[in-house]
Structure 1
Amino acid sequence: MSETPNQAILTSRDGHVAIIELNRPPHNFFDVEMIARIADELDRLQADKTCRAVLLQAGGSAFCAGADFSRRNGAEGPRSASRINPIYLEALRIFSFSKPIVAAIEGAAVGGGLGLALAADFRVSCAEARFSANFNRLGIHPGFALSYTLPALIGKQMAAWLLYTGARVDGVRARELGLVDFIVPKAEVRTAAMALAREMATSSPRALQSTRQTLKADSLSHIRNAISRESAEQAIQFAGPDMAEGVKAMAERRLPVFED
């Protein structure tokens, strides 16, 4: 694999399939720079006619644990309700990519990491993986377009359950909910994900991309609207007492105690 300048991601190629690997083990916490690096690579691959599909994977024990809220600037949050979170502006570029993405998820996809996983067209995972949209448990509104992508994928009722409670589900339950498309043994996740990407890459690239565009015709506008509202809500809540308690409770591995 080749390294990007700051090594936040690694890139390589397997025929018509491009590989992007998150490279901040063990948790692969992201910041605006890391998401921008992924978006930059996808922009480059968008113009590369020899790339027909992308495999997104991660080194370390987690696929992606989202932003590191233990750092004051970890959330890269907006300072006013009128300013969109810069991480989410970069995420919009990922969602705008026109070629299919397969995510190989061997570990936890949590918070914004789950949002990143849902930017892929397909998710291949294993029983040992864990999935959680834990924003409300941390005292903030969901982000990374999850307020749209999660209910669009698994339905409003189950999405509401995951978002309201921050429940953590394993790969088997995630498959039952529709969060994950394929479950294989952990040692075979990357191989199975690559096989799926290669299978799509054998289709006509023009027909494939146009079909994908038809299926996702109005989703990008919904994602833009979701990100705008998410950013506005989070701008208020980032500085509030609930988030301070939620982050502290997470660090102390206890249930948060929010005031009325």
Structure 2
Amino acid sequence: MSKDIDVSHAGHVATIEIRRPPLNFFDIVLIRDIADALDTIDADPSIRAVVLAAQGKAFCAGANFTAPPSGGFEERPRDTGHLYIEAVRIFRNKKPIVAAVQGAAIGGGLGLAMSADFRVTCPEARFSANFTKLGFHPGFGLTVTLPETIGKTKAALLFYTSRRVTGEEALAMGLADVLVPQDEVRAAAQKLAGEIAECSPLGLLSTRATVRDGLAERVRAATDHELAEQNRLRQTEDFKEGVKATAERRVADFKGR
């Protein structure tokens, strides 16, 4: 097993823990590891529900745009394409997932959180689709999952402003499903997963397949388009300025070119 994740079992619930603290930036390796773990869980009839959690202060702060060329997938467009192939594998998993969002879920990290069926969070958490503030285009299937979860208008608001919303705001708009104190997030996620796991495993698989029918294919089509737009915008001056401004914690001076 990769050192970047840990998989544990308690009763009929499996917990996948991301271990890249403090910010848990992702790359193709991490997303593939999560997809592989979910494939293994799907093949284990004793597991009926999954908790996706993370060490550190963030759930997942997305991709590290400020990493040197050897560091982050965002510097290598081909890797991004492969990463989205791995991401679609996550959406193809068969068993319910509860994400324990104890901190920031930013950019693609929000996309990862949205691959789950439910999100348990806390007031300190922050959710942001911050792509336009980077001069970029949303990815990780968010152009499908966010509108389907919170509605097109609210999703557009998050996309167009790149604003961060708190755990309370996320709960109010339907982005999160349970709000608890920060130190209780994982336990609450495991409690919800345990409640799910008390149900008939065959009934769960059948019902979830119906509820999420076609989702993976919609995400696959979306990521094809998202990737094309990301690769186009990656070449612009605005993208370079957006990344630089974010690293310097200042408002970007975009020129529209």
Q: Does the alignment reach a TM-score above 0.5?
A: yes
After superposition, the C-alpha distances for 1:211-235 in whole angstroms (9 at most, x for unaligned) are 0111111222211111110011111
Give the direction of change, closer, same or farther, for the CA distance of 1:35–1:47 in structure 2 (3 Å limit). Answer: same
CA RMSD of aligned residues (A): 1.4
- Once residues 4 and 150 of structure 2 are traced to their aligned partners in structure 1, the CA distance between those partners, rounded to angstroms, is 30
The answer to whether the 8 A contact 1:78-1:85 is kept is no
Distance (whole Å) between structure 2 residues aligned to residue 120 and residue 111 of structure 1: 15
State the distance in 2 between where 1:219 and 1:150 align. 12
Partner of 2:153: 157
Deviation readout 1:161-196 (Å, 9 max, x if unpaired):
100110001000000111000101112111111010
In the other structure, the counterpart of 2:163 is 167
Matched, 1:36 2:40: no
Structure 1 position 243, deviation (Å): 1.2
User: CA–CA distance in 1 between the matches of 2:22 and 2:235?
Assistant: 28
Paired with 1:47 and 1:194, the residues of 2 have a C-alpha distance of: 20
Partner residue in 1 for 2:233: 237
* Counterpart pick for 2:246 among 243, 250, 255: 250
| 8 Å Cα contact 1:78-1:235 kept in structure 2 | no
Contact 2:150 2:173 in 1 (8 A): yes
Rounded to whole Å, the distance in 2 between the matches of 1:198 and 1:124 is 13
Structure 1 segments (4+ residues) deviating >3 Å: 75-80
Q: 1:137 aligns with which of 113, 118, 133?
A: 133
1:66 is the counterpart of 2:62: yes
Shift of 1:77: 5.9
Residue 75 of structure 1, aligned match among 73, 76, 81: 73
> Distance in 2 between the 1:135 and 1:122 partners?
23
Instruction: Count residues with an aligned counterpart.
Output: 254
Structure 2 unaligned runs (5+)?
none
Shift in Å at residue 241 of structure 1? 1.3
**Conserved 8 A contact 1:139-1:243:** yes
The whole-number CA distance in structure 1 between the counterparts of 2:38 and 2:54 is 16
**Alpha-carbon displacement from aligned partner over 1:32-70 (angstroms, at most 9, x marks no partner):** 001000011111111111111110000000000011001
Give the drift of 1:84: 6.6
Q: Tell me if structure 1 keeps the 8 A contact 2:122–2:185.
A: yes
Kindly indicate whether the alpha-carbon contact (under 8 Å) linking 1:150 and 1:159 is maintained by their aligned counterparts in 2: yes
**For residues 131 and 229 of structure 1, what CA distance do their matches in structure 2 show?**
23
Alpha-carbon distance in 2 for matches of 1:228, 1:170: 30
User: Aligned in 2, Cα 1:174/1:26: closer, same or farther, shift over 3 Å?
Assistant: same
**Contact 1:78–1:231 under 8 Å retained in 2:** no
**Does 2:191 align with 1:202?**
no
Q: What is the one-letter code of the residue matched to 1:112? A: G
SS in 2 for 1:13: strand
1:95-146: CA deviation from partner (whole Å, max 9, x where unpaired): 0001000011110000000000000001000111000000111111100000
**Larger mean Cα displacement after TM superposition, 63-72 or 111-120:** 63-72
Q: Which amino acid aligns with 2:33?
A: R
- Equivalent position of 1:125 in the other structure: 121
Give the 3-state SS of the residue equivalent to 1:107 in structure 2.
coil
Give SS of 1:228's match: helix
Percent of paired sites with the same residue: 53
Does 1:97 pair with 2:82?
no
* Structure 1: stretches of 5+ with no match in the other structure: none
Under a length normalisation based on structure 2, what TM-score does the superposition of the two structures give? Answer: 0.96
Offset at residue 75 of structure 1 (A): 3.3
SS in 1 for 2:73: coil
